[in-house]
Structure 1
Amino acid sequence: MLSKKNQLLTVLCIGALWGPATSQTSIQLSPKESSVLISKHIYGHFAEHLGRCIYDGFYVGEGNTTIPHTNGVRNDVLSALKELKIPNLRWPGGCFADTYHWKDGIGPKGSRPSIVNNWWGGVTEDNSFGTHDFLNMCELLETEPYLAGNVGSGEVQELADWVQYVNFEGRSPMSDLRRANGRDRPWNVKFWGVGNEAWGCGGHMTAAYYSDIYRKYATFMSDWSNTGGLYRIASGANSADYNWTETLMQKLPKNLVKGIALHHYAVIDWNKKGSAIEYTDEQYFKTMKSAWFMNELVEKHSAIMDKYDPKKEVALVVDEWGGWYEVEPETNPGFLYQQNTMRDAMIAGMTLNIFNNHAERVKMANLAQTINVLQAVILTKGEKMIKTPTFHVMEMYKVHQDAQLIPLQINSQSFVWNGEEIPAVSASASKGQNGKTYVSLVNIDPKVAQKVELNLGGSYAGVSGRILTAKQLRDFNDFDDANRIQPQAFSGAKLSKERLSLSLPPFSVVVLELNGKK
């Protein structure tokens, strides 16, 4: 039984007082049981030609005189994304990718043909942001590009030429064209998506038909060294379409595929997605339930992959995930612009914990999307830029990138709504290359604090941490108050030999750093 004091009061280091009930969760860490690395590529991002993600988000144009930029890319955006240490960036889509013809986006900008974005808002784009612009931006960001190839409306030769254009160092028609356009050395792009959502906007194909199409396109995407250097990623399942994964694993030869994609969004109801900021308690629960479904999806898709790939040589690549709501009032419905509250911080923390804990199979993921679209980490408005709660979660979690996974077992109390329940607490842990141990914890319950007891599997000399929470669940950062929600120091964790205890406030994310192992 908890004391009345603990039932009545949880004191945060940031000075806020909470008065909810408290439940208890236990976690057992097993630091000696794993050699699995949490790939940094799990923390990837996604930039589609959609709404204000590229134009007015990343790119404001070389002639802009009011917003500081480098070759047209906003300097504040570059700085913020480098703070996250983003490991990869997916482009140009999404659904847009299967309508995009890359040769329209190279050469003198004044000579590039325009394109109508049929998928997102019907706007006309001038192709001023193309292959050179994106790949040079990735160099500025010190991140790896992930190019999504056009399989839906493009031809095999078109994709083969793109690979040659960006990767071939010797003399060839495409590398000569690249040099004529001002780039001598290749970019050596490793990650390639062979189409996107082939079951839907990428062509409404069957799994069997797409498998044959994939084999054809992938065959002509040469790396010229025959070393398997290209990381080809197949268009994978829509959420719980397990037959799609089964078919691909049966039909795709391992020498042609490095990853199978998976797309899943936390959505209340696809026909009535609800507001990003004015949601009910019931809608909050349903969003969390949809987000937690990612755990089941990863486990079931992984089990299918294990049958055909027991050595786990093919990665599960969750290259679209995040929360999806109705657009903000008075914005273009095709632009998918939404605000970002503490609900989104809960989605991010929970989902990244799921990916970390399944890092043996999940080796890459991409949050949708980076700027001004869906669950963005950055929002822009003219000269102003803000970091969302999701940004702060990903910044706190970057300590897990390329760290050694520490397996854990968790016995969580439940978050209950109208007889339905999901775990209130999620967690993941790792040992960084600096020798320190990190534990990330999320309490999604909006009203009940969680007393957490951890058996660390070893003794540590000290613990520190940071917390992300807010006064209200529906709080968000806006252009009038950009720092309403941001991480604060957390000193509420108590360390005693191999045990650690703390109280997680409602709707909070905590990342702990343990050092000085004895």
Structure 2
Amino acid sequence: MKILRRALAGTVLLAALTAVAPPGANAAAAPDTTIDVDVRAGLATVPDTALGVNHAIWDSELGSTAVSGLLEDAGVQMVRYPGGSYADIYHWKDHTAPGGYVAPGTDFDTFMAGARRTGAQPMIIANYGTGTAQEAADWVRYANVTKDYGVEYWTIGNENYGNGHYGSAWEADNHADKSPKEYASHVVAYAEAMKAVDPDIKIGAVLTMPGNWPDGIVAAGDQGTWNQEVLSRAGDAIDFVDVHWYPGGGNAAEALTKSEQIVDAVQVLRDQLDKYAGRDVGISLTETNVGVGPNTQPAALFLADVYSALLENGVFTVHWWNVHNGIGTVSTVAGQTDYGDFGLLSSGGCTPDNSVCEPPMNTPFAPYHALSLMGDFARTGDQLVQTGSDNPLVTAHASRRANGDLAVLVINKDPDNAHTVALDYHGFTPAGGAPSVSTFTNGADGVRTGASGTATEQTVPAYSLTLVTVRSGRTGGALPQAPGAPVAGTITDRTATISWPAVAGAGKYEVYRQHNGVSELLGETTGTSFTARNLEPGRRYTVNVLARTNAGALSPSSPPLTFTTGSPADASCTVRLADTSDWGNGFVGSIDVTNNAAGPVSGWTLAFTWPTTWQTVSNGWGATWTQTGTKVRVTSDATLAAGGTTNVGFVGAYSGPNVLPGVFTLNGTVCTTA
């Protein structure tokens, strides 16, 4: 977060939350929404670092027992220090931040005492902008040798791409060279110095989130983007990468659609790790917040949706900005007063003219209650599983407990209407009786818990979060162990071979493809490898493997494997797409089309489909360009000679991760993609 709203002061008032039964409701209407929950489609397992928040040295409440108690109650597992951009001006030895405000009682030892009371692991940001590798190494020595704090996670700097290299400058950086190349060289030096003190720590480098500025931009003098340069030069020295994500949105409804970008954004980031670093490392997302209604219901819905989606995709920790932040622009959102405060807890302050004041210090705002509900939903060791909804205003996430029970988190983004939801389970049989239901509604002062509805039908209030915990109705003996992580072997345009470790007692294995909440069985085998056939070229697939005993018992799901099929190796045409110039929300694309056939092609149509709904062709040249939905057609009356190549170009626009198409057809024939 770039702007410090104000320093915090005042007395502490701890808001008590009492779990009560949900208010009574009329008889449920017939279901208007169906949510599929498929335990065969396993996603990531919830780590012990999943739920995080930011602490800042300008927050006088950082070390208070009231705050650590509230964070503990919410299930917070990781806390980040010393706070956003302040990290690049903060010097831990004398607890100063030249040019910024440092509140009393916010030094490192006070922070660590609060983290321990919370039961949370710390993530420390080493000062890159105005610090040195030696200063960071001394901090590691003090933390883990002198004090024996056992701090494992350390990132090098905050938003260091915001140092002016790309035009905008909010992050302090005293280095004469502000390029990603220079940052990468210092990451290597910091890692060497810090790990010389404690080789067990984990070092993180700062990257940009795909789809967020300055993603895609190559600055003057650079050989690639920030992510490309940092990963190719420092990839061997790091253990994880750290990104921030503020997706914005012109209104609450738009802001609440942004979670749809997460699958693609994380996958693009993993592809960059593989391509430029040559290995897969952990991903942390240590700052996020909603663009509209930051302390009212939109923020609560956004937090639950985004934390869940990021964890499903293997991000090992997600952090809200911020614990406290201060009053901003006051407005009314969905009938509630929004103070424009990006904190989880009230700062207790007033507008400059004292016309509006926040509730007393530490009063929880709506996103705090959503975080508390997340603490009940995403428990360490749970396996998140895929869901699907036929209503874009009602989304869901689900987690499978170690004992086989299932928790389903339903998010109603409709500000005006309740919806009756039919819950359809796949690979899971619910027990009889009413499930446990926890609900957080618009304007409520806490989460209400009781028993309502059934395991297969729930009415969810307008603008609400509803957590339905369903007991497993399965009977019989123990299930076989879940197969270990499958790995990809040979992948072509139409086939993919995968393999996995054997499971004791398995009679056979079933391979499922994830597909909108209801998995598709690709096939089964008695061995530990399988070749999926009849796949589509240039398409991303996610699969799981389950073991089944001869008695019919089906194991939990393996971890997911995601792969992308290629293009034909010897097609009659070849297409090469290049992003020749990018400015963060648009780019110039250049396409070479080569005729590999023995004869000429008289008149041709090149076709491709954008992988996402937020990508468009603004204009094109060299042929006639049209776009319908996500499908693009490029037509020409010209003749393309045998062995000849023609070039066409376009200006593309995007408002999320720019996933380039991987498959093209020429007059209906799938081309080789170069």
Q: TM-score, normalized by length of structure 1?
A: 0.71
Q: Does residue 47 in structure 1 map to residue 14 in structure 2?
A: no
Alignment of 1:367-516 (within 5 A): 367-373=320-326, 374-381=341-348, 384-399=361-376, 400-414=378-392, 424-433=393-402, 435-456=404-425, 457-461=427-431, 462=433, 463-470=435-442, 475=443, 484-489=444-449, 491-495=451-455, 500-516=456-472
Question: Which amino acid in 2 is paired with 1:407?
Answer: V
Specify the alignment match of 1:192 in structure 2: 154
| Number of the residue aligned with 2:283 | 316
CA positional deviation for 1:517: 3.0
Q: CA deviation at 1:387?
A: 1.5
Shift of 1:84: 1.5
Q: What's the counterpart of residue 124 of structure 2?
A: 147
Residue 249 of structure 2 aligns with an amino acid whose one-letter code is I
CA distance in 2, matches of 1:323, 1:33: 29
In structure 2, the CA distance between the partners of 1:339 and 1:413, relative to structure 1 (3 Å rule), is closer
Give 3-state SS (helix, strand or coil) of 2:343's partner: coil
- Could you tell me which of 304, 308, 311 is aligned with 2:272? 304
Q: Distance in 2 between matches of 1:298 and 1:506?
A: 30
Change (3 A) 1:152 1:146: same
The change in CA–CA distance for 1:91 and 1:233 in structure 2 (over 3 A counts) is same
Q: Provide the rounded CA distance (Å) in 1 between the counterparts of 2:395 and 2:276.
A: 30
Q: In structure 2, what is the Cα distance between the partners aligned to 1:311 and 1:17?
A: 55
- The 2-side partners of 1:453 and 1:311 are apart by 42
- 1:232-253 deviation line (CA, Å, top 9, x unaligned): 1111115521543343333323
Q: Is the 8 A contact 1:265 1:291 kept in 2?
A: no
Equivalent in the alignment of 2:254: 286
Q: Does the CA-based 8 Å contact 1:465-1:490 persist in structure 2?
A: yes
Contact 1:464 1:493 in 2 (8 A): no
User: CA separation in 2, counterparts of 1:248 and 1:87?
Assistant: 28
Deviation digits for residues 426-469 of structure 1 (CA, Å, limit 9, x no counterpart) = 22211234543211111212234334333322212142211111
1:246 to 1:404, Cα distance in 2 relative to 1, 3 A: farther
Q: Is the 8 A contact 1:323 1:347 kept in 2?
A: yes
- Which of the numbers 217, 220, 226 marks the counterpart of 1:244? 226
**Paired amino acid for 2:342:** Q
Give the corresponding residue for 2:301: 346
Inter-partner Cα distance in structure 1 for 2:82 and 2:423:
43
Question: Which residue number in structure 2 is paired with residue 24 of structure 1?
Answer: 33
Q: Which residue of 2 aligns with 1:70?
A: none
User: Which residue matches 2:504?
Assistant: none
Secondary structure at 2:187 match in 1: helix
Distance 1:490 1:207 in 2: 52
Distance 1:412 1:245 in 2: 36
Equivalent residue in structure 2 for 1:85, among 75, 91, 100: 75
1:38 corresponds to which residue? 46
Q: Distance in 2 between matches of 1:46 and 1:18?
A: 43
Q: Which of residues 249, 256, 259 in structure 2 aligns to 1:268?
A: 249
SS at match of 2:142: helix
Summarize the Cα distance change of 1:198–1:78 in structure 2 as closer, same or farther, 3 Å threshold.
Answer: same
The 1:117–1:19 alpha-carbon spacing in structure 2 relative to 1, beyond 3 Å, is: farther
Cα 1:115–1:354 shift into 2, 3 Å: closer
Match of 2:195 in 1: 222
C-alpha distance in 1, partners of 2:196/2:437?
Answer: 44
Conserved? CA contact 2:137–2:197, under 8 Å: no
Q: Determine the C-alpha separation between the residues in 2 that align with 1:128 and 1:393.
A: 28
Quick one: structure 1 residues 239 and 21, their matched pair in 2 at CA, closer, same or farther if it must change by over 3 Å?
Answer: farther
Structure 2 Cα separation of the partners of residues 23 and 303 of structure 1 = 38
CA distance in 1, matches of 2:428, 2:463: 29
CA contact (8 A) 2:76 2:120 kept: yes
What is the Cα deviation at residue 260 of structure 1?
Answer: 0.9
Considering only CA atoms, is the larger Rg found in Structure 1 or Structure 2? 2
* Offset from partner CA, 1:338-367 (integer Å, 9 cap, x none): 8611111111111122123212xx111211
Q: Distance in 1 between matches of 2:273 and 2:398?
A: 25
Q: 3-state DSSP class of the match of 2:151?
A: coil
CA distance, structure 2, for counterparts of residue 219 and residue 492 of structure 1: 56
Q: What code does the residue aligned with 2:132 have?
A: E
SS at match of 2:76: coil
**Which secondary structure state, in structure 1, belongs to the residue aligned with residue 362 of structure 2?**
strand
Q: 1:404 to 1:126 in 2, by over 3 A?
A: closer
Identity of aligned residues (%): 20
Contact 1:21–1:449 (8 Å) recurs in 2: no
The range that moved more, 405-414 or 300-309, is: 300-309
Write the letter of the residue equivalent to 1:87.
Q
Amino acid paired to 1:377:
L
Provide the rounded CA distance (Å) in 1 between the counterparts of 2:73 and 2:320: 16
Tell me if structure 2 keeps the 8 A contact 1:27–1:452: no
Structure 1: tracts of 5 or more residues without a match: 1-11, 59-72, 106-113, 119-123, 169-174, 176-184, 270-282, 326-337, 415-423, 476-483
Counterpart contact for 2:387–2:398, Cα < 8 Å: no
Q: Displacement of 1:35 after TM fit?
A: 7.6
**CA contact under 8 A between 1:18 and 1:505: conserved in structure 2?**
no
Q: Per chain length, whose mean CA-contact separation is higher, i.e. which structure has more relative contact order (CA < 8 Å, sep 6+)?
A: 1
Kindly indicate whether the alpha-carbon contact (under 8 Å) linking 2:324 and 2:345 is maintained by their aligned counterparts in 1.
yes
Q: 85, 88, 93: which is aligned to 1:103?
A: 93
Who is 1:131 aligned against? 108
Q: How many residues align?
A: 404
Say which SS state the counterpart of residue 149 (structure 2) adopts: coil
The CA distance in 1 between the partners of 2:446 and 2:381, in whole Å, is: 24
Structure 2 gap segments, 5+ residues each? 1-20, 163-170, 217-224, 327-340, 350-359, 475-674
How far apart are residue 511 of structure 1 and its match? 0.8
Identify the residue that residue 635 of structure 2 maps to in structure 1. none
Cα shift at 1:370:
1.3
SS of the counterpart of 1:260? strand
CA distance in 1 between partners of 2:276 and 2:453 (Å):
44
Distance verdict in 2 for CA 1:425–1:304, change over 3 Å: farther
| Deviation sequence 1:102-127 (CA, Å, 0-9, x none) | 1112xxxxxxxx65544xxxxx4366
Q: Distance in 1 between matches of 2:276 and 2:390?
A: 33
Task: Give the aligned partner of residue 545 of structure 2.
Answer: none
